[in-house]
Amino acid sequence: MSKVDRRIAKSQVAIKNAVTELMSEKGFDDITIQDIADRANVNRGTIYLHYTDKYDLLDKIIEEHINKLRELCRSASELTFQEGNYVWFEYFERNYLFFSTMLASKGAPYFRSRFLNLVIEEFKPEVDTTKGKNQGLSDDVILQFFGSAVVGAVEWWFKNGMPLPARVMAEQTGALLDRNFE
């Protein structure tokens, strides 16, 4: 694997940070490549060197975070829901500007949909409708219900300025999930 030039990596980080900051200030449709270039302190050509357009840039940022969340799930697969949730909530907290912007913004419903699909995908192995409390229920209904609950809890957390520490959010959402997947 070839090593990425530090200048390229630094430019890409600046560009990604710039678009996230701009989205927290105004709608995505109102952001221009020139706005991003100015904020990132790069020229427009640098952006076009790495991304087709602002939509490609946003897509790549979203994909990066979704992949990181998926990776965190894999690494936490042996943990309880509470412990696994803490890994996610810590990541959310470290990337507050991105997640709060994506979940609060009307300009990024695509992200919410991708996030919900990821949560559903990760819960799928946990659903067992052949026994226990969920016996006889539809897998799809259960997955949609709990996926929406998790995404909704995360949205609430960001929209309200993270009123509870990440650890408490992880414990409480984890306890709710544990109750229903036992």
Question: Residues 125-178: pLDDT tens digits?
Answer: 888 888 888 888 899 999 999 999 999 999 999 989 999 999 999 999 988 888
The model carries a pTM of 0.84
User: Tokens 């109750």 belong to which residue?
Assistant: 179
Look up residue 113 and give its two tokens. Answer: 């949909």
Superfamily of domain 1-51: Homeodomain-like (1.10.10.60)
SS3 80: coil
Instruction: Please report the pLDDT score of residue 4 as a whole number.
Output: 65
Read off the pLDDT of residues 82-119 as tens digits, 9 standing for 90 and up: 787 888 899 999 999 999 888 876 656 788 899 999 99
| Strands of the chain, DSSP E | none
Number of H helices, E strands in the chain: 9, 0
Question: How far, CA to CA in Å, does 101 sit from each of 23, 128, 180?
Answer: 7, 35, 30
Alpha-carbon dihedral of residues 7, 8, 9, 10, nearest 10 degrees? 50
Rounded to the nearest angstrom, the gap between the alpha carbon of residue 85 and the centroid of all alpha carbons in its chain is 13
Look up residue 145 and give its two tokens. Answer: 């219900």
Rounded to the nearest angstrom, the gap between the alpha carbon of residue 77 and the centroid of all alpha carbons in its chain is 18
CATH level 3 topology of 62-181:
Tetracycline Repressor; domain 2 (1.10.357)
Instruction: Please report the pLDDT score of residue 28 as a whole number.
Output: 87
In the chain, residues under CATH classification 1.10.357.10 are: 62-181
In the chain, residues under CATH classification 1.10.10.60 are: 1-51
